[in-house]
Amino acid sequence: MLEVRDMHAYYGKSHILQGVNLNIQEGEIVALLGRNGVGRSTTCKAVMGEVSPVGSVMFKGQEIAGKKAFEIANLGVGYVPENRDIFPGLTTRQNLILGLKPGQKDGVGRWSMQDMFDLFSNLDNRADVEASVLSGGEQQMLTMCRTLMGDPDLVMIDEPTEGLSPQMVQRVAELLQEIAKRGISTLLVEQKLSIALDIAHRVYVMGHGKVVFEGTPQELKAREDVRKEWLEV
Amino acid sequence: MDLVIINLIDGLFYGLLLFMLSSGLTLIFSMMGVLNFAHASFYMLGAYFAYQISMYLGFWMGLLVAPLLVGVVGALVERYGLRRVHQYGHVPELIFTFGLALLIEEVVKFFWGNNLMAYQEPEILKFALFSIGNNAVPAYKVFMIFTSVAIFIGLLYILTRTRIGMIIQAALSYPRTVEALGHNVPLIFMGVFGVGTALAGVAGVLAGPVLGTFPGMAFVLGSIVFVTIVIGGLGSLWGALVASLLLGWLTTFAASSSFSFATILESFGMQRPESLSDSYLRDLWTLTLPQIGPILPYILMVLILVFRPHGLFGKRDV
Amino acid sequence: MDALTDSIVQNEDISKVYLIGQDYSFGKAVAEAAQRDLGAKKASIEIVGNELHPIGKVKDFTPYARKIVSSGADAVITGNWGSDMVGLGKAIIEAGFTGPIYTYYAASNGITRTFGEAGVGKINLVGEGALNPSGSPEVDAYVEAFEAKYPDHDISQPRIANVVRMLALAIEEAGTATDVIPVAKALEGMETDNFWGGKIKMRAEDHQAIQDVYVMEQATGLKHLLDNSNFGLETAVKVEMASADMPTTCEMERPE
């Protein structure tokens, strides 16, 4: 589905990504772990075209490095940014409508607005309320649902559980599994090891702008040295 | 009393004219973070284009075509100018729009000269619709008031009731996120810039015959438009409307009042000195409200910035 | 101002006058002179408004115009120029004012054209050098030659014709062009033909040019037009040798 080869990225003069290699297969949940500032979010942004990447980014067999963000989105890449970016002044329903691609009708593709309301009755109850008054957890759900409305084949989700209560974390995990069930590939950026190890099929660990470990959750559990050096605080 | 009513009408006219300029400017600013110094220059272009068109095809074709032309010029400026400068940050953008304002003024002088243009309202509207006391209200001004109200309603409808309006609203706050959802945000930027400048063009077409069509017209109106959007709150269409009307009425009533500062001095029990030239308060003794009317908006802006930095309706800092 | 106020006091229809001008030296000077002259010449004339507005800062003159109309004024006097003149004049006329507006600079440079039909009979201008009717066939030829050479411009400063002629005469009389004191002395008290008609005299005491001054009205259907428009200025009142009777307080020091 996604194949990133030797990807570099820069902010001004600082060399943030120094040759990232990773791949995601169809229907796979892949977790991208690492401490703050090692380049996990930048990896997502570079794939999305928000930061210009140097190197190769193949999506469904097509080179997307150098394309504009909205073009990449329309090819089927979804991105849920870390700061939830709920559109102020718009209702929950309007936020969801904006997730639809230009020309796309609700109900075409894997998800409909009704699916979202069925999955999270909170959104249904507050569909016509200005979305900026929703709780943090509800907002997180809304941003994820908003991206799913566009029927992406791959979603990159940045820190979805940050600052959420344990119940909400559980809801997020359920949604991630539902996403995988519908055949969508997921790149999950996380700090919480437990959720990542529970639901991911494969794991990458990043350090200093590079991938420093690649394997299954079981393999990562067995590698205490990796966890000590790159993950634990 | 008659004078109060007539001032209300005049203030409404002036306020709505300001609104046509400030609505575009505030949308452009909040969406792109660009303080477009050249905004009033597009207003001037509107007046000159309309004058030129009206020479051959009459006023109404000018009203129709000139704003479109201005909008196209605006869109091209965004696409080939601002968008390239954007990557270097906000200061180069400011300098770019500032330079553009100077350039447009020089271009106007080059083609049309320094003189006033005899740009006239259409014959059909050249009559006094009604009079209050001896004061006549020209039909043209009433036409202008209705036109700008119609534009406001149209804008409000597009922004709040249509999908493109929702995208614009969302992109005001989070353009990157909107783009990541698959919307062509660069195109929307260009469109908003084009529509915003076209609105300024409409204002120029309509105001040219009343306020005069001359190379300094952009400069005269330019600064007050910035004051309007700061008072109203950046990015807020309602704020732009309220602030425009507020300033319209403020300047109108100030200019038509005959309040003299000597009244205040006398109320403190001071005597008007025999020889004013010896008095260190001589300026205050002779000052009247109409004399300082045009600086009142700036005083109001400073007060707003001190006590309510977001402006009346804004959600973000200036 | 002497000529202007002369024509106002002669006009039986004018009993209330409104003064408005730009807030700087010339605007203030016009207002002061008008008050002084009108008061001295006809005490029954009432000044119903005396107002200064910021120069080049007023976007919309309508509120000022409203005050003028509401004051019941019969005539307006202003020293405004440029866009302040046009803005003020248009606003006053549009507000329904029907009386004359006395000005110094409300012609040419696009102003006459911009006022157009609305200015006819309302815009009055005080100046030296009238074109309609002109003083002589030479004047007609001079104006036509100028218009032929500079079709986009008007003779907006007729005094220049006299300035150059008088200077030339003075240089001839003094026999030198490089020693300025004899030239100045020759100019002092010089009386000669005014190119625009009548005589012109440089009063010796204060170096003021005493000449015929005209109050002209915007009109159409004239021989000499302005701004390539159908409008021009037609003489309404001619004040012969204006201000010749005004006393002077000038005590200028002259070089030896």
For residue B318, name the pLDDT band (cuts at 50, 70, 90): very low
Is the pLDDT confidence value at B276 over 70? no
**What domains can you pick out in chain B, each with its CATH number?**
2-256 (1.10.3470)
What is the nearest CA distance from A48 to chain B, expressed in angstroms? 7
pLDDT of amino acid B316: 58
B169 touches chain A (CB under 8 A): yes
| Non-local CB neighbours of C19 within 8 Å, separated by 6+ positions | C30, C31, C34, C35, C47, C49, C50, C51, C76, C77, C78
Answer whether C2-133+210-239 and C137-209 agree in fold: yes
Q: Can you say whether the dihedral through the CA atoms of B87, B92, B97, B101 is positive or negative?
A: negative
Cα distance from B186 to chain C (closest Cα, Å)? 35
Strand partners, B272: none
The answer to whether B173 contacts chain A (CB < 8 Å) is yes
ipTM of the complex: 0.89
- Burial (Cβ within 10 Å: 0-12, 13-18, ≥19) of residue B213: buried
* Partner B contacted by A21 (CB < 8 A): no
CB B75 within 8 A of CB B191: yes
Superfamily the domain C137-209 falls into: Response regulator (3.40.50.2300)
Architecture of domain C2-133+210-239: 3-Layer(aba) Sandwich (3.40)
Give me the residue label for tokens 């500062």. B261
Cβ distance A87 to B315 less than 8 Å, yes or no, reads: no
Sign of the torsion angle spanned by Cα atoms C160, C162, C165, C168: negative
Percent of chain B clearing pLDDT 90 (strictly above): 46
Per-residue pLDDT of chain C (256 residues; tens, 9 = 90+): 788 888 888 888 899 999 999 999 999 999 999 999 898 888 889 999 998 898 888 888 998 999 899 899 999 999 999 889 999 999 999 888 989 999 999 988 889 988 988 899 999 999 888 888 888 888 999 999 999 999 888 988 888 989 999 999 999 999 888 999 999 999 998 999 999 988 999 988 888 889 999 999 999 989 899 988 999 999 988 888 887 777 788 888 888 7
- Region B277-300: mean pLDDT is 79
pLDDT of residue B17: 92
Is the CB of C59 less than 8 angstroms away from the CB of B224? yes
CA distance C29 to chain B (A): 15
The DSSP-derived string for B92-116 is HHHHHHHHHHHHHHHHHHHHH-SSP
> Residues 27-46, chain C: which have Cβ within 8 Å of B?
none
For chain C, what are the domain ranges? 2-133+210-239, 137-209
Comparing CB atoms, the residue among B173, B183, B185 nearest residue A88 is B173
Q: What is the DSSP string of A133-145?
A: GS-HHHHHHHHHH
Classify domain A2-231 at the CATH topology level: Rossmann fold (3.40.50)
User: Between chain A and chain B, how many beta carbons pairs sit less than 8 Å apart?
Assistant: 64
Q: C-alpha distances in angstroms, C207 versus A82, A84, B27, C170, C190?
A: 82, 81, 60, 14, 10
Q: What are phi and psi of B214, to 5 degrees?
A: -150, 160
Residue C70's nearest CA partner among B263, B251, B11, B7 is B7
Q: Which residue of B has its CA nearest to A76?
A: B182
Percent helix, strand and coil across chain C, each to the nearest 5: 35, 20, 40
CB contact under 8 A, C63 and B252: yes
Is the Cβ of B156 closer than 8 Å to some Cβ of chain C? no
Quick check: B115 contacting A, CB < 8 Å? no
Could you tell me if B252 lies within 8 Å of chain C, comparing CB atoms?
yes
Substitution target from B54, B134, B289, B298 for chain C, most C beta carbons within 10 A: B134
